[in-house]
């Protein structure tokens, strides 16, 4: 009973957050200094072209009308038409959303378990060889910008040293994102190397804290096998606090990896967002901002609920 | 949709790249390709039902791997295969037989649609690669266009005078805004069908530049009723099979092509969000050719034994523009001083990495009328200082505007500002976002930057150097000049020598007093794998040898 109430309350908060975000996104895009009609039509445009453009996209309507039309469209799954190519947004972004979600899924599938294992093992072997080596290498990796990391992998595995993996990915329009798994290798490798150091360090810190706690010591004193102490008692308490960091990194993989998308020509929403901002393609900017916010809200919601469910202390408090 | 065209597995072709270098037979064949294009014009093609054979009058025949289909043309090329071309593009891409927004659109247009006339390598009007058999100049305002025989659209229908008239009307449609310059010369009432292959065109004013307008690559013939949203039908060597904005387009060979069917089975134009990714894909063999190779990569491609660099001279230019009716440029001495400031050779090196040629403040480079006798203007800081002192502008400080959406312009402005320091001129470079730059202030700036494509001299005057030009950036000509009258006289003159004589006077006036600082022209820089045969380095308006004129004679030696 308690858990359902919690989920509902969090959901309501999520919806409220999205509403506030929608207001901010709308107002900010109105405040952009550049005129979308001019930006899209370019220098070829005459005054008549510009006026026709404004009328066609409802830019001559009052702001309130524009906002409600937009929200209504979003809710009905018709987020509007791109200024730059005149196509309905979902026609050319649908595939990209699918691709980005798949990249996020695969990236999480690899980097989360890897981080958990590396982080906890480093905590158990604290200040020993593995921990030290891991600390140094993850600091180096974390300090490296993704494009350096990715470009290095391309040189190593695709172009100059070995030609074993494709340098860029090619997901044909209409094909599922897993149609070029070979092409996924380098983007996933880059993401994993970028995300794992962060998450594993948080896992390590959290694990060390738990391992030093009274109840772990109690378990050990009671003579429980080390495996039981670790997996039954320490892990559930250590993993909870890391969920927020994991959630942030997961959401990041969906929309924030413009550099990785650009380097591997991955047809995702990060690049679409970059182009849309550059071209003042407001309907696309607005839609993607809302979609990426949605991903953040959902992953955070999942992290919140997950934290409560796995942490015995918090779980019992619900009842 | 995707299932039916699964003919070529991209990864299998990458393996064959190494085998190609060994086979040397193709190099010799390459030389004859340009010539055979015109030989094919007279050849007749007959297509039987699917799986049958197709023969032409031209030389030998080639059999595809499947052996079911024999294609024609001349004996040099091998039929079959898929050409994958990388172009930097985004979801701004559109497909339209008469309009482009970005580079990949150009490639797609040229594959599927053709204009009535064309330019040859010397920039003269030519009927090769185009649909008209002849355009008779009855008078400077009266033209009779005759179509070649036997040209069909991708749906098999013959191209007729009605289609030509519809194509003009669509380009004149003010709602579409496809060709603003043409609507000055022509309206619907001037178009008359004489017979199925002949259209009579009467212009609103005498203008020999109309012929040049016909040669623009977007001035294509589309079938009656054509729209951007509807079926994509043209006359070109390849038919559009699929198009996804910002991703790719697939084009398949049109076997009924009037110039003899192309060699390739399929052409894919693939969008890359970023040039660096395109370079990686190209050098690792994921694509066969790349449009607009970044200058920095040119040496690497030159050094590779598998890749070929294609450098084509072009007539496009990046000017610094001075509004001649605004202070301080309303004093001709200040304009002249500014033109003495840039070290042009250094600008070409700095802005174009050397892939260009020095300019002489004169446009229309590929045009036959381009003045080769005017002395090359060089950097002369002392003379510039003297002119500025005379004009009372010794310590001139001025803003130079540039947009952030056009590669080269901010760099050019910065390079010029650096050189201006030597002459005591402080140039503050203001880089604005593209939308703002090309907005309401565009053509009103005192001191700004711009870009222009390849145009003949008189067409460029109409576009930028008249008070009522499409983009009067420099506000040329001066109030007391008869430049505009000379322009009208020149476009009304059908005799080339007499016309060139008038043009020479116009050019001299612009050379002495004009508002454009034209320090150089950029080359087009493309690259392809060695096994792609048929591209030639020659002066061109469009990249990749005018996209191989629709890739009609491009083949893969694999």
Contact residues, chain A, for B102 at CB < 8 Å: none
User: Taking CB atoms and an 8 Å limit, are A159 and B280 in contact across chains?
Assistant: yes
Q: What is the mean pLDDT of residues B435-453?
A: 87
Residue A319: predicted pLDDT: 59
Under 8 Å between Cβ of B381 and B335: no
* Bridge pairing between strands B532-533 and B248-253: unpaired
User: Comparing C-alpha atoms, which of B488, B486, B491 is closest to residue B139?
Assistant: B491
To the nearest whole percent, how much of chain A has pLDDT over 70? 96
Query: How distant is the Cα of B87 from the closest Cα of chain A, in angstroms?
Result: 12
Least confident of A133-147, B476-490, B502-516: A133-147
Contact residues, chain B, for A146 at CB < 8 Å: none
Which residue of chain A has the CA closest to B89?
A: A275
Residue A295 belongs to domain spanning: 89-318
B9 in reach of chain A (CB within 8 A): no
Q: What is the mean pLDDT of residues B51-68?
A: 34
Query: B290-325 burial, b if ≥16 CB within 10 A, otherwise e?
Result: bbbbebebbeebeeeeebbbbebbbbbbbbbbbbbe
For B540, other C-beta atoms within 10 Å of its C-beta total 24
Instruction: Please say if the pLDDT value at position A122 is more than 50.
Output: yes
Residue B524: predicted pLDDT: 92
B227 in reach of chain A (CB within 8 A): no
How big is the A-B interface in CB pairs under 8 Å? 131
Which residue of chain A has the CA closest to B404?
A: A278
Residue B131: predicted pLDDT: 97
- Residue B30 pLDDT level (bands cut at 50, 70, 90): very low
Highest mean pLDDT among B80-84, B118-122, B243-247: B80-84
Least confident of A135-139, B8-12, B250-254, B476-480: B8-12
Least confident of A93-97, A115-119, B243-247, B403-407: B403-407
- Omega cis (within 30) before B328: yes
Residue A43: predicted pLDDT: 63
Q: What is the spatial distance between Cα B296 and Cα A246, in angstroms, rounded to a whole number?
A: 39
Query: How distant is the Cα of A107 from the closest Cα of chain B, in angstroms?
Result: 21
Instruction: Please say if the pLDDT value at position A56 is more than 70.
Output: yes
pTM of the model as a whole: 0.81
Instruction: Please say if the pLDDT value at position B8 is more than 60.
Output: no
Q: What is the spatial distance between Cα A156 and Cα A138, in angstroms, rounded to a whole number?
A: 20
Which residue of chain B has the CA closest to A84?
A: B92
Contact residues, chain A, for B290 at CB < 8 Å: none
B248, containing H or E segment: strand B248-253
B94 in reach of chain A (CB within 8 A): yes
Query: How distant is the Cα of A292 from the closest Cα of chain B, in angstroms?
Result: 19
User: Taking CB atoms and an 8 Å limit, are A265 and B273 in contact across chains?
Assistant: yes
- Residue B6 pLDDT level (bands cut at 50, 70, 90): very low
Q: Indicate which CATH number applies to the domain containing A246.
A: 1.10.3720.10
Q: Is residue A145 part of a domain?
A: yes
- Residue A318 pLDDT level (bands cut at 50, 70, 90): low
Query: How distant is the Cα of B273 from the closest Cα of chain A, in angstroms?
Result: 6
B181 in reach of chain A (CB within 8 A): no
Contact residues, chain A, for B274 at CB < 8 Å: 262-263, 265
Average pLDDT across chain B, whole number = 85
Residue B233: alpha-carbon gap to chain centroid: 22
To the nearest whole percent, how much of chain B has pLDDT over 70? 86
Q: Is residue A30 part of a domain?
A: no
To the nearest whole percent, how much of chain A has pLDDT over 90? 39
Under 8 Å between Cβ of A241 and A307: yes
Residue A233 is given by DSSP the state I
Q: Which residue has the higher pLDDT, A110 or B54?
A: A110
Write the CA distances from A268 to B50, B90, B142, integer angstroms: 39, 12, 53
Q: Is residue A71 part of a domain?
A: no
Contact residues, chain A, for B276 at CB < 8 Å: 151, 262-263
Q: Summarize pLDDT for B380-423 with one digit per residue, the tens.
A: 999 999 999 999 998 999 999 998 877 789 999 999 999 999 99
**Residue A158: which of B244, B284, B435 has the nearest Cβ?**
B284
Instruction: Please say if the pLDDT value at position B27 is more than 60.
Output: no
- Max distance between CA atoms of chain A, in angstroms, equals 84
All residues at 6 or more sequence positions from A144 whose CB lies less than 8 Å from its CB, including other chains:
none
User: Taking CB atoms and an 8 Å limit, are A173 and B247 in contact across chains?
Assistant: yes
- The number of distinct structural domains making up chain A is 1
Instruction: Please say if the pLDDT value at position B340 is more than 90.
Output: yes
- Residue A86 pLDDT level (bands cut at 50, 70, 90): confident
In chain A, the N- to C-terminal Cα span, in Å, equals 8
Q: What is the mean pLDDT of residues B458-485?
A: 93
Contact residues, chain B, for A182 at CB < 8 Å: 11
Q: Is residue A119 part of a domain?
A: yes
Residue B442: predicted pLDDT: 87
The helices-and-strands tally (H runs, E runs) of chain A is 16, 0
Under 8 Å between Cβ of B457 and B503: yes
Instruction: Please say if the pLDDT value at position A29 is more than 90.
Output: no
Least confident of A234-243, B80-89, B348-357: A234-243
Instruction: Please say if the pLDDT value at position B185 is more than 80.
Output: yes
Residue B75: predicted pLDDT: 56
B230 in reach of chain A (CB within 8 A): no
Residue B66: alpha-carbon gap to chain centroid: 37
Residue A42: predicted pLDDT: 64
Instruction: Please say if the pLDDT value at position A189 is more than 60.
Output: yes
Instruction: Please say if the pLDDT value at position B262 is more than 80.
Output: yes
Instruction: Please say if the pLDDT value at position B157 is more than 70.
Output: yes
- Residue B242: strand pairing partners: B250
Q: Is residue A184 part of a domain?
A: yes
Instruction: Please say if the pLDDT value at position B266 is more than 60.
Output: yes
Residue B343: alpha-carbon gap to chain centroid: 28
B431 in reach of chain A (CB within 8 A): no
User: Taking CB atoms and an 8 Å limit, are A262 and B278 in contact across chains?
Assistant: no
Q: Is residue A76 part of a domain?
A: no
B242 in reach of chain A (CB within 8 A): yes
To the nearest whole percent, how much of chain B has pLDDT over 90? 70
Residue B23: predicted pLDDT: 27
Contact residues, chain A, for B272 at CB < 8 Å: 168, 265
**Residue A34: which of B281, B284, B436 has the nearest Cβ?**
B436
B270 in reach of chain A (CB within 8 A): yes
- Residue A147 pLDDT level (bands cut at 50, 70, 90): confident
Instruction: Please say if the pLDDT value at position A208 is more than 80.
Output: yes
Residue B14: predicted pLDDT: 28
Q: Summarize pLDDT for B86-131 with one digit per residue, the tens.
A: 999 888 788 999 998 888 999 999 999 999 999 887 888 999 999 9
What is the DSSP annotation of B334-376? HHHHHHTS--HHHHHHHHHTT-EEE--S---TTSTT--SSSPP
B304 in reach of chain A (CB within 8 A): no
User: Taking CB atoms and an 8 Å limit, are B284 and A159 in contact across chains?
Assistant: yes
User: Taking CB atoms and an 8 Å limit, are B91 and A82 in contact across chains?
Assistant: yes
Instruction: Please say if the pLDDT value at position A90 is more than 50.
Output: yes
All residues at 6 or more sequence positions from B342 whose CB lies less than 8 Å from its CB, including other chains:
B379, B415, B416, B419, B517, B519
User: Taking CB atoms and an 8 Å limit, are A92 and B247 in contact across chains?
Assistant: yes
Q: Is residue A34 part of a domain?
A: no
**Residue B92: which of A38, A175, A279 has the nearest Cβ?**
A279
Instruction: Please say if the pLDDT value at position A45 is more than 80.
Output: no
Residue A44: predicted pLDDT: 62
Hey, of A41, A43, A46, which one would you mutate to test binding to chain B, going by the most B CBs within 10 A of its CB?
A: A43
Q: Is residue A236 part of a domain?
A: yes
Q: What is the mean pLDDT of residues A170-190?
A: 92
Contact residues, chain B, for A168 at CB < 8 Å: 272, 277, 280-281, 286
Query: How distant is the Cα of A197 from the closest Cα of chain B, in angstroms?
Result: 26
Query: How distant is the Cα of B244 from the closest Cα of chain A, in angstroms?
Result: 7
């Amino acid at each position: 009973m308690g858990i359902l109430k919690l989920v509902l309350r969090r959901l309501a908060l999520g919806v409220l957050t999205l509403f506030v975000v929608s207001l901010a996104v709308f107002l900010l895009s109105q405040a952009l200094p550049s005129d979308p009609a001019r930006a899209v039509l370019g220098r070829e445009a005459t005054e008549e072209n510009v006026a026709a453009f404004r009328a066609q996209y409802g830019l001559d309507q009052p702001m309130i009308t524009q906002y409600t039309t937009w929200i209504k469209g979003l809710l009905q799954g018709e987020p509007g038409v791109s200024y730059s190519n005149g196509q309905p947004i979902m026609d050319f972004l649908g595939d990209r959303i699918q691709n980005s979600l798949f990249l996020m899924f695969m990236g999480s599938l690899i980097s989360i378990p890897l981080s958990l294992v590396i982080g906890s093992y480093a905590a158990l072997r604290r200040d020993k060889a593995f921990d030290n080596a891991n600390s140094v290498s993850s600091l180096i990796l974390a300090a490296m910008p993704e494009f350096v990391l990715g470009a290095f992998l391309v040189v190593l595995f695709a172009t100059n040293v070995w030609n074993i993996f494709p340098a860029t990915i090619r997901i044909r329009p209409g094909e599922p994102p897993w149609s070029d798994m070979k092409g996924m290798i380098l983007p996933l490798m880059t993401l994993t190397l970028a995300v794992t150091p962060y998450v594993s360090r948080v896992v390590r810190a959290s694990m060390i804290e738990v391992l030093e706690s009274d109840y772990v010591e109690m378990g050990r004193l009671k003579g429980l096998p080390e495996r039981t102490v670790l997996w039954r008692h320490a892990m559930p308490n250590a993993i909870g606090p890391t969920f927020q960091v994991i959630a942030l990194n997961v959401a990041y993989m969906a929309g924030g990896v413009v550099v990785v998308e650009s380097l591997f020509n991955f047809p995702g929403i990060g690049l679409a967002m970059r182009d849309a901002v550059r071209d003042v393609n407001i309907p696309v900017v607005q839609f993607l901002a809302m979609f990426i916010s949605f991903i953040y809200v959902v992953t955070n919601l999942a992290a919140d609920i997950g934290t409560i469910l796995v942490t015995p202390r918090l779980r019992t408090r619900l009842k | 949709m995707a299932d039916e065209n699964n003919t070529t597995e991209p990864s299998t072709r990458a393996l064959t790249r190494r085998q190609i270098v060994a086979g040397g037979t193709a190099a010799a064949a390459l030389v004859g390709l340009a010539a055979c294009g015109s030989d094919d014009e007279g050849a007749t093609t007959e297509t039987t039902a699917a799986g049958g054979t197709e023969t032409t009058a031209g030389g030998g025949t080639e059999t595809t791997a499947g052996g079911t289909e024999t294609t024609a043309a001349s004996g040099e090329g091998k039929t079959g295969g898929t050409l994958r071309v990388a172009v930097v593009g985004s979801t701004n891409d559109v497909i339209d037989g008469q309009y482009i927004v970005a580079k990949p659109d150009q490639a797609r247009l040229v594959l599927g649609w053709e204009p009535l006339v064309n330019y040859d390598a010397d920039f003269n009007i030519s009927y090769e690669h185009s649909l008209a058999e002849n355009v008779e100049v009855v008078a400077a305002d009266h033209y009779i266009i005759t179509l070649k025989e036997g040209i069909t659209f991708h749906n098999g229908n013959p191209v007729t005078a009605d289609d030509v008239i519809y194509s003009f009307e669509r380009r004149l449609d003010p709602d579409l805004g496809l060709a603003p310059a043409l609507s000055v010369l022509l309206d619907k009432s001037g178009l008359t069908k004489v017979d199925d292959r002949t259209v009579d065109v009467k212009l609103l004013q005498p203008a020999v530049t109309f012929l040049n307008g016909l040669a623009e690559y977007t001035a294509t013939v589309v079938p009656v009723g054509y729209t951007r949203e509807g079926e994509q039908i043209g006359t070109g060597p390849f038919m559009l099979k699929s198009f996804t904005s910002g991703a790719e387009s697939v084009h398949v060979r049109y076997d009924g092509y009037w110039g003899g069917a192309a060699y390739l089975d399929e052409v894919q134009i693939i969008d890359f969000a970023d040039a660096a990714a395109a370079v990686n894909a190209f050098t690792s063999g994921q694509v066969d050719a790349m449009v607009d190779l970044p200058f920095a990569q040119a040496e690497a491609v030159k050094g590779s034994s598998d890749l070929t660099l294609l450098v084509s001279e072009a007539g496009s230019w990046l000017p610094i523009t001075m509004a001649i009716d605004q202070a301080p440029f309303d004093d001709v001495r200040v304009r002249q001083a500014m033109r003495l400031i840039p070290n042009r050779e250094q600008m070409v090196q700095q802005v174009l990495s050397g892939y260009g040629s020095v300019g002489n403040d004169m446009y229309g480079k590929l045009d036959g009328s381009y003045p080769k006798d005017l002395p090359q203007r060089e950097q002369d800081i002392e003379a510039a200082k003297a002119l500025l002192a005379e004009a009372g502008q010794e310590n001139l400080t001025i803003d130079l505007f540039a947009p952030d959406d056009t590669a080269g312009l901010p760099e050019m402005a910065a390079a010029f500002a650096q050189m201006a320091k030597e002459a005591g001129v402080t140039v503050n470079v203001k880089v604005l976002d593209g939308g703002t730059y090309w907005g309401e202030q565009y053509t009103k700036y005192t001191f700004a930057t711009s870009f222009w494509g390849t145009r003949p001299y008189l067409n460029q005057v109409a576009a930028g150097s008249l008070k009522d030009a499409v983009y009067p950036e420099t506000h040329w000509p001066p109030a007391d000049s008869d430049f505009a009258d000379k322009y009208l006289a020149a476009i009304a003159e059908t005799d080339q020598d007499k016309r060139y004589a008038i043009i020479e006077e116009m050019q001299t006036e612009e050379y002495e007093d004009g508002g454009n600082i034209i320090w150089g022209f950029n080359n087009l820089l493309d690259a392809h794998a060695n096994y792609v045969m048929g591209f030639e380095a020659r002066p061109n308006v469009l990249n990749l040898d005018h996209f191989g004129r629709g890739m009609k004679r491009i083949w893969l030696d694999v």
